[in-house]
Homo-oligomer: A and B are copies of this chain.
Amino acid sequence: MARSEPGRAVTLTDVARLAGVSVATASKALNGRDQVKDSTRQRVVEAAERLSFTPNPLARGLLAGRTGTVGLLTSDLEGRFVIPILMGAEDAFGAGQVNVFLCDARGDTIREQYHLRALLSRRVDGLIVVGRQTDPRPSLGHAIPVPVVYAYAPSDDPSDLSITPDNVSAGRLAVEHLVACGRTRIAHITGERAYAAARDRADGVQAALHAAGLELVGDMMYSEWSERWGRDAAAVLLARHPEIDAVLCGSDQISRGALDTARDLGRTVPDDVAVMGFDNWEVLTTNARPELTSIDANLQQLGRTAAQRVFAALDGVDIGSGTEYVAGRLVIRGSTVARR
């Protein structure tokens, strides 16, 4: 780092000259090829270190056809989903052979096409497409010369590979937890019916209730993903069905609203009524009183898996197609289990 003159980057030629060999030999020595005597290799390695040589990935990529880069194309305005997915991908790509181009399409198809072209012209080796809903999104098609994996939002084309949270099992998981806590009169408040996430979780809830021999208390309440709706719906529910002992909410935001209403009505959480949500959005869950139990979607895991699939496809493995589901994880906090 000390001697980095901005003038010119140090090239393999410099290393070769210092080591007194040809560039061919230097290349082979540094890349662990055989056909190089050990003593020679040593000389080259030392020279490379003394000059702190790093190979130019452009030249390398030009030849190999591989650039060691992956495009992450997101429409997730807030970065709530894409950041954990990016972190998972970074983990999977591991020891830094791969870097990620992040492009934000901001939910705009034109911009998405535009970024797509830019990424392809940069010869990314693969593509991860992140949506902000779990509803299927339009496929980018099959004219793309690199492997594509859809993360969070699956593709509407079953011949693409998609990886998405398993919201049905998440719904089941939530109910099973409530039942395990001894709750039997469970209501469900969730977000927009237009969202697959809301419907899938509700399906899982119904299935688990049925399996436990229980019935949902009140109607399945769809409306919007907001605290306001959580407050209003909880007020209606608790007035109409005072026997309720658990309110399962479709998101942490809704949970926060339900918690507020419970407090306003003088119902204690969790003793009197339990509350839990989905997403495990920490700024909401850990700041609530009491702290909110939630189902974490394991997005980092999802990102890791997506990256692994891209990797596998690059190595020529057939990664198949269809939608792969990532299970959620129960995070228990004080809103369902009283603190000791």
Q: Report A's interface with B, CB cutoff 8 A.
A: 1-2, 4-6, 9, 54-59, 61-62, 67, 69, 72, 77-80, 82-83, 86-87, 90, 96, 99-104, 106, 114-115, 117-123, 141, 143-145, 226-228, 231, 253, 256-257, 260, 281, 283-284, 287-289
Given A102-B102, A123-B56: A96 in contact with B83 (beta carbons within 8 A) = no
A114 to B260 CA separation, bound complex (whole angstroms): 45
The CB with the most chain B CB atoms within 10 A, among A1, A9, A59, A289, is that of: A1
- Do A289 and B231 touch (CB < 8 A)? yes
A56 to B121 CA separation, bound complex (whole angstroms): 6
- Do A58 and B54 touch (CB < 8 A)? no
Known A102-B102, A227-B289; 8 more pairs at CB < 8 Å? A58-B62, A77-B83, A78-B283, A79-B79, A90-B103, A96-B114, A100-B101, A260-B260
Contact of A87 among B58, B104, B256, B281 (CB under 8 A): B104
- Do B2 and A143 touch (CB < 8 A)? yes
Given A145-B4, A287-B228: A55 in contact with B121 (beta carbons within 8 A) = yes
A22 → chain B, closest Cβ, in Å?
A: 21
- Do B54 and A120 touch (CB < 8 A)? yes
Given A78-B83, A102-B102: A123 in contact with B57 (beta carbons within 8 A) = yes
- Do B56 and A283 touch (CB < 8 A)? no
- Do A123 and B2 touch (CB < 8 A)? no
- Do B101 and A115 touch (CB < 8 A)? no
Contact of A287 among B115, B144, B256 (CB under 8 A): B256
A266 → chain B, closest Cβ, in Å?
A: 12
- Do A57 and B121 touch (CB < 8 A)? yes
Specify the chain B residue showing the minimal Cβ separation from A124. B99
Which chain B residues lie closer than 8 Å to A78 at the CB level? 83, 283
A144 to B3 CA separation, bound complex (whole angstroms): 10
Specify the chain B residue showing the minimal Cβ separation from A67. B58
A69 to B68 CA separation, bound complex (whole angstroms): 14
- Do A283 and B145 touch (CB < 8 A)? no
A47 to B90 CA separation, bound complex (whole angstroms): 40
Specify the chain B residue showing the minimal Cβ separation from A80. B79
Specify the chain B residue showing the minimal Cβ separation from A257. B287
Given A4-B143, A79-B79: A9 in contact with B123 (beta carbons within 8 A) = yes
Which chain B residues lie closer than 8 Å to A62 at the CB level? 56, 58-59, 62
Specify the chain B residue showing the minimal Cβ separation from A140. B1
Which chain B residues lie closer than 8 Å to A260 at the CB level? 260, 289
Specify the chain B residue showing the minimal Cβ separation from A90. B104
A167 → chain B, closest Cβ, in Å?
A: 20
- Do A54 and B1 touch (CB < 8 A)? no
A71 → chain B, closest Cβ, in Å?
A: 8
Which chain B residues lie closer than 8 Å to A54 at the CB level? 117, 120-121
A90 to B111 CA separation, bound complex (whole angstroms): 11
- Do A99 and B83 touch (CB < 8 A)? no
Which chain B residues lie closer than 8 Å to A118 at the CB level? 96, 99
A9 → chain B, closest Cβ, in Å?
A: 7
In the A-B complex, the 3 residue pairs with the closest CB atoms: A79-B83, A227-B287, A79-B79
Contact of A103 among B77, B99, B283 (CB under 8 A): B99
